[in-house]
Chain A
Amino acid sequence: MWIITLLPERASTYAVNTDTAFWITFWLSFVFFAIINIALLVFIIKYRRSPGDEGVGAPISHNTTLEIVWTVIPTILLFVIFWFGYKAYAKVKWPENQPSLEIRITARQWGWTAEYPDGKKIITGTIKDDKGITPKDFQPVIFVPAGEPVRLILTSQDVIHSFYVPEFRAKYDAIPGRFTKIWFEAKKPGEYEVFCTEYCGAWHSRMPAKVVALPPKLFERFKSIPADRFNNTLANMPLDSVYAILSLSDEEFNEWSGAQEKLLASLSPAERGKIISQKLCVSCHSFDGSPGIGPTWKGLFGRDVELSDGKRVVADENYIRESILEPKAKIVKGYQAVMPSFQGQLTEEQISDIVEFIKTLK
């Protein structure tokens, strides 16, 4: 099927404009391609030199009328292509209805963080394995209402990344130190893959995510969940469970919420710390002793650590807390000062949960 449509599904309202620009450019190009290649074929067959023919070609050296014709006609057609491109661009750039929902996306090496105005936060991680990317590796990063415009405010905390949703025909760079923005409106509920399209280092190909467009009813339910409950539950769940929970009846949903609160209260700090660490930390710090961009956490707590300036320090609670909030203060010997600060991103409680988790990695 896609061999005929060539382009991916048109899942956003403006995809049709982009595709119109695409097909107009395609068919005009195709006509030119055909004309030239047919002319080439005809000429090389008709005017091929037979063996032993030492003659020369006809002394035709120019034809000004012809030159003007084949300068002017392509120029006009190029204006046509430009115009359709501009029209598609205008749709992508300037929404007709201002989006009422704005989501902030922060890219990092290597994953995405989405933050909603009410504080809901979803973090996707790096898929580090030797297998190819499978559909389940595309982790939900934003939930949006189908049929309503949404604006994304993009930035990055390290290098340039690019947020690309092929099925929306939407793409924009996430640049450190500035905000860029895109908007889209998903035509119908569904899941749409997100790729990073600006080369950002080793695991550039392994930060897959997806935009989940929810039916209006489910999105209302999504909106109604308080941010901290969402962040501790749905934000860390597989998408199937999220759908199931959002689709519960009011009664069942309230029951689930209450149960979650109890369950959460029963988790140990180290268990809570593990959930956060698997999202945020494991792409650089392994839990099992394997090498990474940062030092492994296995056996870290209480160890004597040698720093790049030759000093030594014991990895206690304060050292770990400082390393999370001010990573550049102490650099472990043999490692680069590349870790971003998590100041303002983690609460004090979450930091001590992470410390508790590290303590369990003997």
Chain B
Amino acid sequence: MEVREAVERHNSYLDAKGLKSWLFTLDHKRIGLMYMFTSLIFLLVGGLFAIIFRTELLFPGKQFLSPEAHNILFTLHGAILIFLVIIPIIPSGLGNFFLPIMIGARDVAFPRINLLSYWIFVLGALMLLASLLFGPIDTGWTFYTPYSANKGLNVFIVSLAIFTLGMSSILTGMNFIVTIHKLRAPGLTWGKLPLFVWALYATSLVQLLATPVLGITLLLLGMENILGIGFFNPAKGGDPVLFQHLFWFYSHPAVYIMILPAFGVISELVSVHSRKPIFGYWFIAASSLAIAFIGFLVWGHHMFVAGMSPVADIIFSFLTYFVAVPTAVKIFNWTATLYKGKISFTTPMLYALGFISLFLIGGLTGLFLANLGTDIHLHDTYFVVGHFHYVMVGAAVFAFFGALFHWTPKMFGKMYNEKWAKVGWLLNFIGFNLTFFPQFILGIRGMPRRYWDYPVEFQPLHFTSTIGSYFIAAGILISLGVFLFAIWKGKKAPDNPWGGKSLEWTIPSPPPTENFEKIPVVKEGPYDFVKH
């Protein structure tokens, strides 16, 4: 409150005009927005690919795509949405914007590295696009060898692209860890950190520790393709299963890179929009770290039918169940937070409630895949596709949209249209379930994934799934339209429309370039709601 009064006629980080003022900015807020808008563009591209191949799958037999084209589309859909959208959009986008503000700092610890990390990200994205010139890859985003091992230049360029994107991810993670350790405002103890910051901290640890392994793996794959060294191709004395170990050693923790920031967002939304302290602060904070740690020990559950020893199968299955415990704890705590709250049905709250419900399904269906017996039946079927879309779209993307509307008033000082944002939410919620719930049944019935064609008995479920994907497309377009319209012509937003307590709500909207004229001294926790 003191801070607000101190700033008389506040400047804004949006004041500077001109392209150069954006491209070479060292302001974490502008860098965050550039990340976010870059990712949003790729969200549309990756989503469009899905709409195209889902349309092919409306009916059995060939509609309009050759099997080769279908395989390229699902590969690009996965690679773009994972590496260019879901991994960066919350931490590097919104996290970059709000992490320094939420800890009472003027910027991240290394603003230049922050900008470097963005441009490395753009470079990686351009390399991924450039690979299309050498023949689009059709290896799946998992690049399993030896299928991907003798493809040549295009796989080499894609592996370099992902390696580059990984560099950016490592730099951001390192930057955030140092920022959280070193730049907290006086009085902002670890116990007063907003849970979004705790979640970003856990995410950054995983980014820093796991991403180098992906980099190494993809370099090996690239060298195999260009120099013909037989790391993974049995025809050259390599081991294809070794690739799966190395790949999942990163890519399983990467699931937590995608979902932990979303957990952080939900903790904020549920608390602020019910004006009630988050229930079990320390359990939620600790569970983020627990998930980050245990997440490193479970990669083998992707390989129960891939030729590991039974001992390894059993240990990996056992350990996987331990990830479920801290995850369940979070869900219980979010639900308990609503008890005796003052719940308002704002768009961010609807996304948070949608998240809890959908993530619950995503998490619980994971139990079937961690299960040694049922995984043999369900592995590599549509059940897996349904499961990870419930986690990555139903949870991570829903959390992103919740966070986007929650913070739009802060980021731009403008309010969005609540009615149309809710229409977008409804389309997303209905469309999401319509698309992905039938996929569980398809998988249980035995429908394998990554199929260009399917036996006729699966047609009704595939048809429903495709219709649902059109609803999601409409929902996402409307939601982004509402967001852009708010920036363009939205009503002026108050500094603290939701009555939030964390530091970002104590400064003007849009924030001044320096965030805080005077570094605040923090006395209250981020969720200490009191009667005015």
Asked if A18 contacts B448 (CB within 8 A), the reply is: no
Asked if B374 contacts A18 (CB within 8 A), the reply is: yes
- B331: Cβ under 8 A from any A Cβ: yes
- A334: Cβ under 8 A from any B Cβ: no
Known contacts A40-B353, A47-B343, A197 near B277 by CB under 8 Å: no
Q: Is the interface of A mostly helix, strand, loop or mixed?
A: mixed
State in angstroms the CA–CA spacing of A198 and B380 once bound together.
Answer: 7
Residues of A within 8 A of B54 (CB): none
Q: Which of A48, A87, A134 has the most CB of B within 10 A?
A: A48
Residues of B within 8 A of A89 (CB): 310, 313-314, 317, 372-373, 376
State in angstroms the CA–CA spacing of A75 and B499 once bound together.
Answer: 37
Asked if A47 contacts B341 (CB within 8 A), the reply is: yes
- A317: Cβ under 8 A from any B Cβ: no
Identify which of residues 38-90 in chain A touch chain B, using a CB-to-CB cut-off of 8 Å: 39-40, 43-44, 47-49, 53-63, 66-67, 70-71, 74-75, 78-79, 81-82, 84-89
Q: Which of B60, B150, B372, B379 has the most CB of A within 10 A?
A: B372
Asked if B340 contacts A195 (CB within 8 A), the reply is: no
Asked if A25 contacts B374 (CB within 8 A), the reply is: yes
Residues of B within 8 A of A197 (CB): 379-381, 448-449
State in angstroms the CA–CA spacing of A88 and B381 once bound together.
Answer: 19
- A21: Cβ under 8 A from any B Cβ: yes
Residues of B within 8 A of A195 (CB): 446, 448
- A171: Cβ under 8 A from any B Cβ: yes
Residues of A within 8 A of B340 (CB): 47, 57-58, 60
The one of A28, A67, A85, A176 in contact with B146, judged by C-beta atoms closer than 8 angstroms, is A176
Bits for B273-314, please: 1 = Cβ < 8 Å to A, else 0.
Answer: 011111111110000000000000000000001110010011
Residues of A within 8 A of B341 (CB): 43, 47, 57-58
Write the chain B residue with the least CB distance to A82.
B321
Known contacts A57-B342, A132-B453, A82 near B371 by CB under 8 Å: yes
How many chain B residues have a CB neighbour from A under 8 Å? 95
- B255: Cβ under 8 A from any A Cβ: no
Residues of B within 8 A of A92 (CB): 373, 376
- A170: Cβ under 8 A from any B Cβ: yes
Identify which of residues 222-250 in chain A touch chain B, using a CB-to-CB cut-off of 8 Å: none
**How many cross-chain pairs have Cβ atoms below 8 Å apart between A and B?**
298
Bits for A105-143, please: 1 = Cβ < 8 Å to B, else 0.
Answer: 000000000000000000000000111111100000000
* Stretch binding the partner chain, chosen from B20-28, B42-50, B164-172, B524-532: B524-532
Asked if A134 contacts B67 (CB within 8 A), the reply is: no
Asked if B338 contacts A196 (CB within 8 A), the reply is: no
State in angstroms the CA–CA spacing of A75 and B294 once bound together.
Answer: 15
Known contacts A25-B371, A173-B307, A160 near B146 by CB under 8 Å: yes
* Stretch binding the partner chain, chosen from B212-220, B359-367, B466-474: B359-367
- B357: Cβ under 8 A from any A Cβ: yes
- A37: Cβ under 8 A from any B Cβ: yes
Write the chain B residue with the least CB distance to A22.
B374
Asked if B147 contacts A133 (CB within 8 A), the reply is: no
The one of B274, B306, B453, B527 in contact with A173, judged by C-beta atoms closer than 8 angstroms, is B306
Asked if B61 contacts A36 (CB within 8 A), the reply is: no
Residues of A within 8 A of B234 (CB): 175-178
State in angstroms the CA–CA spacing of A167 and B325 once bound together.
Answer: 32
- B356: Cβ under 8 A from any A Cβ: yes
- B452: Cβ under 8 A from any A Cβ: yes
Question: Taking the nearest CB of chain B, how far is it from the CB of A41, in angstroms?
Answer: 10
State in angstroms the CA–CA spacing of A84 and B445 once bound together.
Answer: 21
- A33: Cβ under 8 A from any B Cβ: yes
Bits for B430-456, please: 1 = Cβ < 8 Å to A, else 0.
Answer: 000000000001001110111111111
* Stretch binding the partner chain, chosen from A200-208, A271-279, A347-355: A200-208
Bits for A84-103, please: 1 = Cβ < 8 Å to B, else 0.
Answer: 11111101110000000000
Asked if A6 contacts B441 (CB within 8 A), the reply is: yes
Asked if B314 contacts A86 (CB within 8 A), the reply is: yes
Bits for B158-182, please: 1 = Cβ < 8 Å to A, else 0.
Answer: 0000000000000000000000000
Residues of A within 8 A of B310 (CB): 89, 93
Known contacts A33-B360, A159-B147, A205 near B374 by CB under 8 Å: no
Residues of B within 8 A of A129 (CB): 61
Asked if A62 contacts B144 (CB within 8 A), the reply is: no
Question: Taking the nearest CB of chain A, how far is it from the CB of B66, in angstroms?
Answer: 8
State in angstroms the CA–CA spacing of A307 and B162 once bound together.
Answer: 35
Asked if B282 contacts A62 (CB within 8 A), the reply is: yes
Residues of A within 8 A of B329 (CB): 67, 70-71
State in angstroms the CA–CA spacing of A157 and B292 once bound together.
Answer: 39
State in angstroms the CA–CA spacing of A84 and B317 once bound together.
Answer: 12
Residues of B within 8 A of A178 (CB): 234, 241, 307
Write the chain B residue with the least CB distance to A54.
B532
Write the chain B residue with the least CB distance to A32.
B364
Residues of B within 8 A of A53 (CB): 342
The 30 listed contacts between A and B (C-beta, < 8 Å) are A7-B377, A7-B444, A8-B445, A29-B365, A32-B360, A33-B360, A36-B332, A36-B356, A36-B360, A40-B338, A43-B343, A56-B275, A58-B341, A60-B279, A78-B321, A81-B367, A82-B370, A88-B376, A89-B313, A132-B456, A135-B455, A160-B147, A175-B241, A177-B239, A193-B455, A195-B448, A199-B71, A200-B147, A202-B67, A204-B67
Add 17 more A-B contacts to A132-B455, A197-B448 (CB < 8 A). Answer: A6-B445, A33-B360, A39-B335, A44-B338, A44-B343, A47-B274, A47-B338, A47-B340, A56-B530, A58-B339, A58-B341, A71-B329, A81-B371, A84-B373, A176-B240, A178-B241, A202-B138
Closest 10 CB pairs of A and B: A88-B373, A132-B60, A177-B234, A166-B446, A57-B276, A89-B372, A85-B371, A205-B451, A57-B341, A21-B373
